[in-house]
Structure 1
């Protein structure tokens, strides 16, 4: 009986090892994008930078910008349309490091620059992740 238990344990261990090897492969499929490429986080990205790109949940957007003049505000659809950061929301936040990474969630992801007038001048981005 001890021999049978040993084989069962070996199969279990082999299965767990295979699972561990496959899990990092799923993470490796996620891509990292520099928003705006060399131009960085700027205006009119939806008409230029988004063209031809397909995003998936788990992909990472890196926003690079001058933190003295810009920020990245993660907002909902209404905040995006109105160019406003909600006063109280668990789903909105402001990033101010100048080099911010955001992991996309499935569905709509909305970003605006919260500095006065910037979003109104089209410094905003809507990404739909599959």
Structure 2
């Protein structure tokens, strides 16, 4: 008998926790994952890849590429426009070849910091609502 009541109580607690997460963290429910460059991956000429897509804060961008040929650097708008691979404060240069980066609300700027790759179109600007 005691077992039955305990399991019902546990189920209720889990249900309440899940409900709380859905109500107070809606981005977790609706977050999407996008592969930058689609099947082509993170490569030259991807600067127009975000066009026509809608992004939200909490969405994840996956950057697939061959390291060390490329990398991903999250930069500010000034460095994006001038192709300066200076990472944002607290950010790192991503080098795994399968980097997963969560978008923050507002403007998100990424570029390849290897050689002149950024100037060859290996950069994207993504606005997350």
Alignment TM class, shorter chain as reference: 0.7 to 0.9
Task: Report the structure number with the largest CA radius of gyration.
Answer: 1
CA distance in 2 between partners of 1:107 and 1:37 (Å): 22
CA distance in 1 between partners of 2:66 and 2:46 (Å): 17
CA RMSD of the aligned region, Å? 2.4
3-state SS, counterpart of residue 79 of structure 1 = helix
TM, length-normalised to structure 1: 0.78
Question: How much does 1:22 deviate?
Answer: 4.6
Counting only pairs closer than 5 Å after superposition, residues 1-130 of structure 1 correspond to structure 2 as 17-18=15-16, 20-24=18-22, 26=26, 27-47=28-48, 49-86=49-86, 89-130=88-129
3-state SS, counterpart of residue 33 of structure 1 = strand
Structure 2, unaligned stretches of length 5 or more?
1-11
CA distance in 2 between partners of 1:90 and 1:99 (Å): 22
Where has structure 1 moved over 6 Å in runs of 4 or more? none
TM, length-normalised to structure 2: 0.79
Q: Give CA-to-partner distance per residue, 1:30-49, whole Å, 9 cap, x none.
A: 000111111000122232x2
Q: Give CA-to-partner distance per residue, 1:2-22, whole Å, 9 cap, x none.
A: xxxxxxxxxxxx799445325
The number of residue pairs the alignment matches comes to 117
Q: Name the structure 2 match of 1:6.
A: none
- Asked whether the 8 Å contact 1:75–1:93 carries over to 2, the reply is no
Instruction: Say if 1:100 and 1:79 are closer, same or farther in 2 by CA, change over 3 A.
Output: same
